[in-house]
Each structure stands twice: as structure tokens, then as C-alpha cells.
């Protein structure tokens, strides 16, 4: 019985046309003094004409059947007119469009409108578009409305009103676009990784992937306890186990290099790799960067002789290479002015030329700061991530070129904000290890290290 009732109610509901933009207004609800629309005036005129025709036909002894038909037609039109008027007045949640009712209630609850003598003087300019997988809510800035200033602060309130997950917020001069997902993205859980993988894309969260055949250089920052380290372990292991066909028609693993000046957990994990793949001292850091630069120059020469256009060295049969620098700020703090300039120039070149040469760099630190990362380097790191809540204003600006208020709100450990290929920053949950991390990744790094040593011997 309940299913039949729900089916009947659903048949009365208007449905949104996918891809069509609908504007939401509370004018018909809050205005006390309203002038009738042309359509309403025509409906009233039609009702009166039918009523008059029925009465005339009845009084002049015309066909009794015709008279009653006209009277019933009058009653039908009259009831329909009253129903439409009441629906427009109160926004019936049963027959109203999905989403529109929730947004209208959001406007009413938060008093995002202004009345003057019963007339609607001003209201927030809000529209929505329903798509297959998401709902886009647009709040326009009209330049003169008092509600323009709240347009950028509606994300969490709309999330609660719609009951949908806020995915991203895009701010332009014209207004703000909020994207809400119609489905819940499941956090990736990791209990096992195979020793090798040939996919060029690393899964992160939902449809967020890091493509090794594009620019995969990245800045990763976040305070202690935010889950940044575990996310980094996952990314490093996923990169290291990638294996691709090389020019000798064999298979070769991606090349991983790690600099950890504090000799922390990342250094411990890297002990399975050959000595020249892991560094802790300033001298080792410079040696590794210089080796990267030497290989980069070799690859430039090879690429210049290739016949293809807009290719990468990976597509030409050369494995991707990655330099991971943990605690970047601590490393920079050890350098004098000349050393810092020399080091930053080399890092900038790797980041700038990395895409076509399939060479990337990941810079990891707690808080991005102009004191440690130059603008030139930051602009080349098109993939950006911040783990944890309470991002500082400087980190928001340095990482995403946004203010704190323009970014999604992080509430949980292991949650963060990420931007891939320079796209709009979105909320994400880092993959979660449901076994001790060392049990999952150490066998892979040990296996990869053995392969590196075999490659060196050959």
C-alpha cells in the first residue's frame, strides 16, 4: 500500500530536465501585494466567459446537457485555478520540482530576500541545473544586491539543505558555482598491492587520478596528524610499482628517488632502494638533483630527434622518473643564499620540463610558504594537495591561489583538498590502509629495489 501511495505521489511530481537551468524565486510566496500575470488574467477571463455562457444557456432554455457541461467546465477551470494559485503561493513539496523546493526553503530559512510594503524588493539570485551525476547550483552576483556578499559562503548550508555532498566551489567575477554529487564516493581501502601495475593512472578518490603520461609533479602539504604521510606512502608505492614496456621490448619499473633530510619514516621505507636512490644530507640532495638534471638533458636530446608531436618519454618507451623531497622547508633551511639559488634553479627546470620528459618532482612540507617555495616553482607544480583541517591563509594562497573561504571545509583525519592538472580544488579522502602500512608497501619497495640493482648491473 505504501509503495502504491509513493508511486501515485511521484506521478504528480514535476521532474527536472537534465541539463536545463531553473531559476528559484520566493516571490510568489513572500509577496503580499501581487499583480496578476497575463496568464492568470486570461484564466480568470476564460472562467467568467464559461460561467456566463452556462448561465445564459440554462436561463434561455437551451440544451440542458450543454448547460450542465458548461457549468462543470466552469467548476473544473475554477478548481484548477485555485490549485495553481495555492501551489505557487505555498510551494507544495509534493508537486514541486525536486531540488527547487529545498533551495526555496533554504532561501526562506536564511532570510535571503528583502520585502518593502509587501513587495519583494530584492532576493538572492540563485539557479540550479541537475545532471546525471551531480547538481550544479549557481549564485549570480548582480553588482547591486546586498546578497552578493554571501554568495561565497552558502556551500555548507546548501549541502545540508539538499542532502548532497559538496564536491567543489568555483568562484568567478559573475558569481559562484557549487557542485554537489548525487552519489557518495567510497574511500579507497588498501589491504594489498600487487608487485607490478601497468596502468598509467594512479587512483586517488572517485574519478580523481594522477596521470603519469601528463605533468605529475606535485606539492603536498599538511600539518602533523593530518594523514599526509600515509597518503604520501600510498602515492610513492603506487608510482614505484608501475612497470612499462621499454625500447628493448622488455619491461622496466618507474624510477623513484627520495630525499629525506630528517631521516624519518620515509627514509626507513626507502632503505630497500639502492643507495643512490635515497639521500639525507645536503650533499646527497645536490648529487641527486644533478643526476636528475643530467638524465633530463639526455632525454631532451632523444625527444628532439623523435618524429612524434606532443609526446612524452613514457610513450616513447622510457620509464617515468620521480624525485620526492620530504620536509622541503627543512632542506632549504640548511642552505646558504647561493646554494638555495642553485638548488631552486635545478628544481624549477625539472618541474618546468618534466611533462614531456616524463620526469616529475613531489615537494612535501607542512605548510607552503613563499619563504621556502618560489613562485616560479609553485606555478609549475600543477597538481596540488593539502591534507587536514584549518589550512592557513598563506598555505591556501600558496597552494591553490585561493583564500581560505573559497576552499571546501575539511573535517576529518585523512581528508584533504586536491587539485589535479590545475583544475578546481575539491574535497577528497586519501586511500586508507586497513593493514599495517609496512606490511603492505615494504614487499613492493623491496622487490622494486632488487629490480633497480639488476638494471644497474646490466
250 is in an annotated binding site: no
Query: 90 and 17, same structural domain?
Result: yes
Query: 214 and 161, same structural domain?
Result: no
How far apart are the C-alpha atoms of 128 and 17, rounded to whole Å?
11
168 is in an annotated binding site: no
Query: 249 and 382, same structural domain?
Result: yes
Query: 150 and 275, same structural domain?
Result: no
- Tens digits of per-residue pLDDT, 339-383? 999 999 999 999 988 889 999 999 998 887 777 788 888 888 999
Query: 272 and 173, same structural domain?
Result: no
Q: Is residue 5 part of a domain?
A: no
Which of 119, 153, 181 is the last residue before a domain boundary?
181
CATH number of the domain bearing residue 405:
3.40.50.300
For the chain, 458 residues long, give each residue's pLDDT as a single digit of tens.
455 444 444 444 567 888 889 999 888 777 655 555 566 666 666 666 666 666 666 666 656 666 666 666 666 666 766 666 655 554 444 345 778 888 988 998 899 998 887 788 888 999 999 998 899 999 998 877 788 888 888 888 898 889 888 888 888 888 999 999 888 888 999 999 999 999 999 999 988 999 999 999 999 998 888 889 999 999 999 999 999 988 776 789 999 999 999 888 888 888 888 888 999 999 999 999 999 999 999 999 999 888 878 889 999 999 999 999 999 988 998 999 999 999 999 999 999 888 899 999 999 988 877 777 888 888 889 999 999 988 888 888 888 988 887 888 888 888 999 999 988 898 899 999 999 988 999 999 999 999 988 876 66
Q: Is residue 368 part of a domain?
A: yes
Query: 198 and 159, same structural domain?
Result: no
229 is in an annotated binding site: yes
Which residue in 181, 170, 204 sits closest to 428, CA to CA?
204
Domain count, the chain: 2
Per-residue pLDDT, 341 = 92
Which of 181, 201, 235 is the last residue before a domain boundary?
181
Distances (CA, A) of 412 to 146, 227, 428, 431: 34, 10, 10, 13
Which residue in 23, 392, 19 sits closest to 175, CA to CA?
23
How far apart are the C-alpha atoms of 328 and 245, rounded to whole Å?
33
Query: 199 and 150, same structural domain?
Result: no
Which of 139, 161, 181 is the last residue before a domain boundary?
181
Q: Is residue 8 part of a domain?
A: no
Residue 262 · residue 449 · CB < 8 Å: no
Q: Is residue 425 part of a domain?
A: yes
Range of the domain at 38: 13-181
Query: 102 and 29, same structural domain?
Result: yes
59 is in an annotated binding site: no
Query: 214 and 107, same structural domain?
Result: no
Q: Is residue 27 part of a domain?
A: yes
Q: Is residue 2 part of a domain?
A: no
Which residue in 321, 331, 322 sits closest to 260, CA to CA?
331
Q: Is the dihedral of CA 275, 276, 279, 282 positive or negative?
A: positive
224 is in an annotated binding site: yes
Amino acid at each position: 500500500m505504501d509503495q502504491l501511495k509513493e508511486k501515485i505521489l511521484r506521478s504528480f511530481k514535476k521532474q527536472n530536465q537534465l541539463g536545463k537551468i531553473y531559476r528559484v524565486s520566493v516571490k510568489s510566496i513572500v509577496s503580499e501585494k501581487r499583480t496578476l500575470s497575463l496568464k492568470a488574467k486570461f484564466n480568470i477571463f476564460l472562467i467568467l466567459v464559461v460561467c456566463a455562457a452556462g448561465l445564459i444557456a440554462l436561463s434561455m432554455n437551451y440544451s440542458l446537457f450543454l448547460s450542465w457541461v458548461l457549468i462543470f467546465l466552469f467548476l473544473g477551470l475554477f478548481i484548477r485555478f485555485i490549485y495553481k494559485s495555492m501551489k505557487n503561493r505555498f510551494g507544495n513539496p509534493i508537486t514541486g520540482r525536486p531540488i527547487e523546493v529545498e533551495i526555496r526553503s533554504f532561501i526562506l530559512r536564511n532570510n535571503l530576500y528583502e520585502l518593502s510594503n509587501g513587495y519583494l524588493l530584492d532576493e538572492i539570485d540563485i539557479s540550479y541545473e541537475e545532471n546525471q551525476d551531480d547538481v550544479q547550483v549557481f549564485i549570480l552576483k548582480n553588482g547591486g544586491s546586498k546578497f552578493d556578499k554571501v554568495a561565497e559562503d552558502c556551500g555548507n548550508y546548501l549541502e545540508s539543505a539538499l542532502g548532497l555532498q559538496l564536491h567543489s566551489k568555483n568562484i568567478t567575477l559573475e558569481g559562484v558555482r557549487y557542485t554537489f554529487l548525487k552519489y557518495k564516493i567510497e574511500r579507497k581501502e588498501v589491504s594489498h598491492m600487487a608487485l607490478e601495475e601497468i596502468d598509467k593512472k594512479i587512483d586517488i578518490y572517485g574519478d580523481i587520478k594522477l596521470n603519469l603520461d601528463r605533468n605529475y609533479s606535485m606539492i603536498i602539504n599538511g600539518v602533523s596528524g593530518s594523514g599526509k604521510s600515509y597518503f604520501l606512502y600510498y602515492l610513492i608505492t603506487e608510482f614505484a610499482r608501475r612497470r612499462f614496456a621499454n625500447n628493448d621490448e622488455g619491461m622496466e619499473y618507474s624510477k623513484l628517488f627520495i630525499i629525506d633530510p630528517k631521516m624519518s619514516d620515509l627514509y626507513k621505507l626507502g632503505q630497500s632502494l639502492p643507495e643512490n636512490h635515497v639521500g639525507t644530507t645536503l650533499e646527497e640532495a645536490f648529487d641527486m638533483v644533478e643526476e636528475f638534471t643530467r638524465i633530463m638533458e639526455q632525454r631532451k636530446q632523444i625527444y628532439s630527434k623523435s618524429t612524434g608531436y606532443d609526446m612524452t618519454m613514457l610513450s616513447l618507451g622510457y620509464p617515468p622518473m620521480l624525485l620526492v623531497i620530504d620536509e622541503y622547508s627543512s632542506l632549504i633551511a640548511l642552505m646558504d643564499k647561493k646554494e638555495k639559488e642553485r638548488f631552486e634553479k635545478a628544481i624549477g627546470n625539472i618541474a618546468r620540463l618534466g611533462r614531456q620528459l616524463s620526469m616529475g618532482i613531489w615537494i612535501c612540507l607542512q605548510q607552503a610558504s613563499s619563504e621556502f617555495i618560489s613562485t616560479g616553482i609553485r606555478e609549475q607544480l600543477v597538481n596540488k594537495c593539502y591534507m587536514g583541517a584549518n589550512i592557513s591563509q598563506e598555505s591556501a594562497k600558496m597552494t591553490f591561489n585561493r583564500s581560505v573561504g573559497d576552499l571546501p571545509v575539511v573535517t576529518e583525519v585523512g581528508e584533504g583538498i586536491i587539485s589535479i592538472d590545475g583544475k578546481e580544488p575539491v574535497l577528497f579522502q586519501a586511500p586508507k590502509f586497513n593493514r599495517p602500512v609496512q606490511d603492505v608497501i615494504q614487499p613492493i619497495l623491496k622487490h622494486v629495489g632488487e629490480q633497480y640493482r639488476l638494471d644497474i648491473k646490466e
